[in-house]
Amino acid sequence: MKSLIKKLVETVGPSGYESKIREVVRAEVEKYADEISVDAMGNLIVKKGEKKEGGLKVMLSAHIDEIGVMVTHVDKNGFARFTTIGGVRPHTCYGSRVRFLDGTIGVIGGERLENANHVHAIEAMYIDVGAASFEDCPVKIGDVASFDRPFEDLGNRLVSKAMDDRVCAAVLIETLKLVKISPHELYFVFSTQEEVGLRGATTAAYSIDPDLGIAADVTMTGDTPRGIKMDVALGKGPAIKVKDGGMLADPKVVDAMVRCAQKHEIPYQLEVLLGGTTDAKAMQISRAGMPAGCVSVPTRYVHTPSEMVDINDLNNAVKLLTAFISEPIKLA
């Protein structure tokens, strides 16, 4: 699991530019898939099984894009101005390093601040790739990069950029490997462009037209000093989403997941997230609508280059999802 996560998180793949990470995922899932396809938005869709008596058509979605930056202008001295892709916050930028799709490394610097205690606005920062001039600069307008930070194994806790949401891609891959017998027709969707508005899941849900939608994504925690007031902590199990900033999980799905976790004695938490949302929102209102829910992996420091997760939560998320989709799902 750890080596899979390392491979996934260290691959560059900001929203809209998921081809590299998609190939990494494809290599992992190919031999477990009944059918595999890539749609117009770049979603990798893995089908497994057929709908049997008492089964449903289930879409599981984990997004493989990550937040990043895009160059808006390279000045004559070779400094690249940039804008953000997804929810990049300025205080995580200054001094960070970025890696472009072609491997070019840059460091983010900033203009002089009137007050050194203030944070640079995005517009007051630039990427320095070590070029001496515009001509010398290997990056140009429109080039994309993600934050660059190596994967660190701290024992139970793991740290890296792009844990959001590659850890859940890993969870889905492991789940796919473990599901042996299921009454359901399963679609594992490794979705794109979640960070810019759930765009991949929106179209995937439309074309798959499932009976039930389950997202796997990260969520925040309230277990850090004077942090947000939220009753989700690292290491206490995957979180079953009740509500986030964009959706209300279907109460029938929440109850079914809770029952499943209790039955298999898998630790779980209940999540009420005050901001943010996930692919399940897009699934819920696709076509005539569908019951939708989400299994979340508690994650500290979301949308920074050092997102932290607990390996036990990942293993338990795999257990929960595997159990959930291996049995008939009673939505009552």
Partner 1 sequence: MTELKDTLKKLISLSGLSGNEAPAREVIRAAWEPLVDEISVSPIGSLHALRRGTGPEPRPSILLAAHMDAIGLMITGIQDGLLRFTEVGGVDPRILPGLRVTIHGRKDLPAIVVQPPDYLLDPTQRGKSVAMDHLFIDTGLEEQDVNDLVRIGDLASFAQEPLELSGKTIVGHSLDNRISVAAITYCLQELQHMVHTWDVWAVATVQEEETLGGGFTSPFEINPTVAVAIDVTFAKGPGANDWRTVGLSKGPTLAWGPNTHPYIHKKFLDVVEQLEIPYQKEYIPRHSGTDAYAMQVVAGGFPTMVIGIPLRYMHTPVEMIALKDMERAGRLLAETIVRLEVDFMEKITWDEVKDEE
Residues with a known catalytic role? 194
Cβ at position 198, least distance to partner 1 in Å: 12
276: Cβ–Cβ under 8 A, 6 or more apart, which residues?
219, 220, 244, 245, 246, 302
Q: Tell me how far apart the alpha carbons of residues 142 and 125 are, in angstroms, rounded to a whole number.
A: 16
Nearer to partner 1, 99 or 281 (CB): 281
End-to-end CA distance of the chain: give it in Å, rounded: 34
Tally the residues of the chain.
Answer: 332
- Amino acid (one-letter) located at 192: T
Give the pair of three-digit tokens for residue 48.
Answer: 């497994």
Q: Which residue has the tokens 């979603």?
A: 43
Q: How buried is residue 128: exposed, middle or buried, by Cβ count under 10 Å (0-12/13-18/19+)?
A: middle
Cβ at position 278, least distance to partner 1 in Å: 13
Nearer to partner 1, 168 or 253 (CB): 253
Nearer to partner 1, 130 or 275 (CB): 275
Nearer to partner 1, 22 or 199 (CB): 199
Give the pair of three-digit tokens for residue 28.
Answer: 């992992």
Nearer to partner 1, 245 or 328 (CB): 245
Q: How buried is residue 278: exposed, middle or buried, by Cβ count under 10 Å (0-12/13-18/19+)?
A: buried
Cβ at position 220, least distance to partner 1 in Å: 12
Cβ at position 299, least distance to partner 1 in Å: 18
CA 313, 316, 322, 324 torsion-angle sign: negative
Bridge partners of residue 68, in order along the sequence: 85
Q: Tell me how far apart the alpha carbons of residues 41 and 193 are, in angstroms, rounded to a whole number.
A: 8
Q: Which residue has the tokens 């070019």?
A: 104
Nearer to partner 1, 44 or 59 (CB): 59
Q: Tell me how far apart the alpha carbons of residues 223 and 228 are, in angstroms, rounded to a whole number.
A: 8
Alpha helices in 116-250 (DSSP H): 163-178, 199-208
**Residue ranges that bind partner 1, judged by CB under 8 A:** 211, 222, 229-231, 242-243, 246-251, 254, 269-272, 274, 281, 284-285, 287-291
